């Protein structure tokens, strides 16, 4: 049964306006705004139909997660994974706000992001870098902040991909082979994969994108249980559901809850009009589609002074007048975001910060920008449009190299990426710093076994780990890069390794080498990459990032490693059984008592922090009960701790709260707070726990339930570095 939008809460006024507008429309006009058209006059990823009679000009939809793609005069923002490593809600909101202002200036109505799926079930996932974290709580909080920021800027957010779109391998049907089916039990669906979508819906997401893959053997964009039953019914989603490009299979998707078709009309258009006339689709369903789309348009204020759709998205091969969308006020946010996602995981022998060294040597392909912008390097670095990419690799098998050896990476590949106005690369930034300090700089960027000048006080080795939409990664390290690190370390007593990584990158082949003194996981910082890194290496800024995933010692340590394939019998219906349930990443490591190399939430600083005075309090409403409706979000308990900067320099600490829910993984993230402290200064980190935070999904009752028992509370600097403990007791009374 289809679920009709109710127009409640923050959607009330938008629905009133949308219903009034839709009442004036013919059936053909309603159908027209639900389908896409190819518009050769712009580079929008999609364009909806318009209603000229009522002066409604349609919508421009465009990728994606770290800036406006396929255009100029915009910024390349830190990628989702980099933002996840910042653990910074305020900065995440600001990024969403300023990035969306660039979308708006280009006439983009709908930004195709942020990303709550994939979460990262397999560390080899090609699109993991587009999302914030493998943890659903951290992902949910940062997706919500991004959505609010984007929509405060007047641009519709599109939360994707619903749901369990956890691998690129067989993500779509190819040559007679069906897309992989993500087979998930109801409890795992709610407690893990749906969790960040709940946050997105609560934040007011204008739209949600259904996924290419199958879920329990039904394609995501035809799955009525998910779209009508769970999303629009259980979660009360009031916006519209659009499909991932060309992910529709039959007209039945309309009744299953799909509201918008992209990039072209497909089986809708005249067919949908005829389906209404012959009774296959109720006209109320089409009216609901149009109402949901227009309500989202009104919700973000696009009825007031919004640019002509696609006005700044002209074909770049033709003369046009680009809009300079880059507001000077966005610059601090770009730089702060670039700084905040770097994670210092090793720092021995006081290797960092560097203090006016007389000589440094720089090694590795990742230290500088690509030498040329030909098709291969552009594709590898993720700066090409999908159309260009298709032309570049058409007709030949293409394996994706784990290391983007053409130059430094500031983003992953394809739809989530965009073209930066410039790249501040590490070597250039180091040279600029060297000029200031009168430092001699050596560099050798191509050899895996370079010569090392014995007078070098620091040897900086730059490697990377690339990932892209369309391919899953073939591994979590590469032989060339590991050999480079080991060869330099054999010759240099102060070897500092910097890894730009689009996901998990293992380090155990060389991390314990006595000459590897410091390691930075630099993730994907966007256009200000080098400048931000140099500020951190030289101590002008302090590291504050924490890992948004677990860094294991071996590939086999992960509960799920490789993506699902066709199996031994070479089936044409690949099946991915999510038998691990919610036991992924640190939850699995904790449950198995397995020691990672660096745990979830881990990250070093140039200062130190102490924790004290854990205070827990519970509200009168906390008791064993089912949860539904508005009370699911009620704050039922609070925790607060005092965090003190006990070191000698200013820094930021991410205080983390984990909860031990009876019958669940030993610890689950349920709160984090980033505090900025001068030396000797302290602050109170306060965590609010909602009823949902304490609840487990009850399959039989089909609701969230707070169980009877003791809930252990763990507060500390990471999932393993627990500084304070407490207990919240729940009983029937």
pLDDT tens across 460-516, in order?
Answer: 999 999 999 999 999 999 999 999 999 999 999 999 999 999 999 999 999 999 999
pLDDT-above-90 percentage for the chain: 84
137-181 tens-digit pLDDT: 999 999 999 999 999 999 999 999 999 999 999 999 988 999 999
Picking from 534, 714, 706, the residue whose alpha carbon sits closest to that of residue 625 is 706
| C-alpha gyration radius of the chain | 25
Two structure tokens written together for 267: 């089986």
In the chain, how many H helices and how many E strands?
Answer: 19, 27
Q: Which of 298-302, 336-340, 585-589, 620-624 has the lowest mean pLDDT?
A: 620-624
- Note whether 670 and 658 are within 8 A (CB): yes
Instruction: Give the integer Cα–Cα distance in Å for 429 and 423.
Output: 10
Q: Are 86 and 544 in contact (CB under 8 A)?
A: yes
d(CA 521, CA 501): 7
Phi and psi torsions of 292, nearest 5°: -60, -45
What pLDDT shows up at residue 315?
75
Percent of the chain with pLDDT over 70: 92
Query: Residue 578: pLDDT above 80?
Result: yes
Strands 651-660 and 609-618: unpaired
Question: How much is the pLDDT for 451?
Answer: 96
For residue 526, how far is the Cα from the chain centroid?
14
Lowest mean pLDDT among 386-395, 407-416, 690-699: 386-395
- In this prediction, residue 210 carries a pLDDT of 97
Q: Any idea of the CA torsion for 725, 730, 731, 733, to the nearest 10 degrees?
A: 120
Average pLDDT over residues 554-563: 96
Where do runs of H (alpha helix) occur along 268-425? 270-277, 283-299, 331-340, 375-381, 386-393
Just list the catalytic residues.
244
Confidence tier at 584 by pLDDT (50, 70, 90): very high
458-465 and 682-690 strand pairing:
unpaired
DSSP β-ladder status, 709-716 and 722-730: antiparallel
Angle between helices 136-152 and 89-105 (to 10 degrees): 40
Q: Which one, of 625, 583, 584, 600, lies nearest residue 714 by Cα?
A: 600
pLDDT at 262: 94
Which residue has better confidence, 371 or 296? 296
pLDDT (0 to 100) of residue 393: 35
The pLDDT tens digits for 418-468 are 888 899 999 999 999 999 999 999 999 999 999 999 999 999 999 999 999
Q: How high does pLDDT run on average in the chain?
A: 92
The mean per-residue pLDDT over the stretch 592-599 comes to 97
Give the C-alpha separation, 602 to 186, whole Å. 31
Token pair 């946050």: residue: 199
Q: Is 688 exposed, middle or buried (0-12, 13-18, 19+ CB in 10 A)?
A: middle
Please report the pLDDT score of residue 325 as a whole number. 55
CA dist., res. 507 & res. 519, Å (int): 9
- pLDDT confidence band for 41 (50 / 70 / 90): confident
Confidence of residue 331 (pLDDT cuts 50, 70, 90): confident
pLDDT value at position 621?
Answer: 63
pLDDT band with cut points at 50, 70 and 90 for residue 387? very low
End-to-end Cα, the chain, rounded Å: 39
Q: What integer is the mean pLDDT of 91-113?
A: 96
Higher pLDDT, 379 or 666: 666
């Amino acid at each position: 049964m289809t679920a009709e939008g109710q127009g409640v809460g923050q959607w009330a006024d938008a629905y009133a306006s949308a219903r009034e507008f839709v009442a004036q429309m013919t059936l053909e006009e309603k159908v027209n705004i639900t389908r896409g058209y190819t518009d050769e006059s712009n580079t929008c990823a999609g364009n909806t139909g318009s209603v000229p009679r009522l002066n409604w000009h349609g919508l421009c939809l465009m990728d994606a997660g770290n800036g406006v793609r396929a255009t100029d005069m915009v910024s390349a923002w830190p990628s989702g994974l980099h933002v996840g490593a910042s653990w910074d809600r305020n900065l995440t909101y600001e990024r969403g706000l300023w990035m969306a202002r660039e979308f708006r200036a280009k006439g983009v109505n709908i930004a195709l992001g942020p990303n709550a799926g994939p979460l990262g079930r397999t560390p080899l996932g090609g699109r993991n870098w587009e999302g914030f974290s493998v943890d659903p709580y951290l992902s949910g909080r940062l997706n919500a902040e991004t959505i609010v920021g984007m929509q405060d800027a007047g641009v519709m957010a599109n939360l994707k991909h619903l749901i369990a779109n956890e691998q690129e391998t067989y993500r779509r049907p190819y040559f007679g082979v069906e897309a992989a089916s993500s087979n998930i039990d109801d409890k795992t669906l709610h407690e893990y994969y749906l969790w960040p979508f709940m946050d997105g819906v609560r934040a007011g997401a204008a739209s949600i994108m259904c996924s290419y893959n199958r879920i329990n053997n039904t394609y995501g964009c035809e799955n009525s249980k998910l779209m009508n039953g769970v999303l629009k019914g259980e979660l009360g989603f009031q916006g519209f559901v659009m499909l991932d490009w060309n992910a529709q299979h039959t007209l039945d998707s309309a009744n299953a809850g799909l509201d918008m078709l992209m990039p072209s009309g497909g089986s809708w258009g005249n067919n949908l009009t005829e389906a209404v006339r012959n009774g296959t689709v109720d006209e109320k369903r089409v009216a609901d589609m149009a109402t949901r789309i227009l309500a989202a348009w009104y919700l973000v204020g696009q009825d007031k002074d919004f640019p002509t759709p696609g006005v700044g998205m002209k074909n770049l091969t033709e003369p046009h007048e680009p809009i300079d969308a880059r507001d000077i006020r966005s610059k601090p946010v770009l730089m702060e975001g670039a700084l905040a996602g770097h994670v210092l995981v090793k720092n021995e022998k006081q290797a960092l910060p560097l203090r006016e060294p007389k000589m440094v040597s720089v090694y590795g392909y990742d230290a500088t920008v690509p030498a040329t912008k030909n098709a291969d390097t552009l594709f590898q670095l993720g700066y090409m449009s999908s159309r260009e990419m298709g032309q570049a690799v058409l007709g030949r098998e293409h394996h994706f190299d784990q290391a983007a050896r053409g130059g430094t990476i500031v983003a992953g590949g394809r739809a989530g990426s965009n073209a930066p106005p410039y790249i501040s690369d590490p070597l250039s930034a180091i040279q600029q710093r060297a000029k200031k300090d009168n430092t001699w700089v050596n560099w050798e960027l191509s050899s895996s076994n370079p010569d090392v000048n014995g007078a070098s006080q620091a040897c900086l080795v730059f490697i990377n780990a690339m990932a892209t939409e369309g391919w899953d990664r073939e591994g979590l390290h590469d032989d060339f890069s590991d050999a480079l690190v080991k060869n330099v370390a054999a010759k240099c007593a102060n070897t500092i390794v910097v890894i730009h990584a689009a996901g998990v990158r293992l380090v155990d082949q060389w991390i314990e080498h006595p000459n590897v003194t410091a390691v930075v996981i630099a993730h994907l910082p966007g256009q200000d990459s080098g400048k931000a890194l140099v500020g951190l290496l030289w101590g002008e800024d302090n590291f504050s990032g924490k890992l948004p995933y677990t860094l294991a010692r071996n590939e086999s340590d992960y509960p799920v490693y490789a993506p699902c394939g066709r199996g031994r019998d070479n089936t044409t219906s690949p099946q991915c059984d999510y038998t691990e349930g919610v036991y992924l990443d640190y939850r699995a490591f904790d449950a198995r008592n397995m020691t990672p190399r660096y745990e979830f939430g881990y990250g070093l600083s140039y200062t130190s922090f102490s924790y004290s005075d854990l205070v827990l309090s519970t509200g009168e409403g906390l008791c064993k009960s089912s949860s539904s409706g508005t009370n699911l979000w009620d704050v039922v308990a609070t925790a607060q701790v005092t965090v003190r900067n006990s070191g000698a320099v200013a820094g930021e600490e991410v205080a983390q709260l984990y909860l031990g829910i009876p019958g669940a993984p030993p610890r689950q993230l349920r709160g984090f707070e980033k505090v900025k402290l001068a030396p000797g200064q302290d602050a109170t980190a306060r965590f609010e726990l909602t009823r949902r935070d304490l609840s487990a999904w009850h399959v039989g009752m089909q609701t969230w339930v707070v169980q009877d028992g003791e809930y252990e509370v763990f507060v500390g600097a990471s999932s393993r570095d627990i500084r304070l403990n407490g207990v919240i007791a729940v009983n029937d009374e």
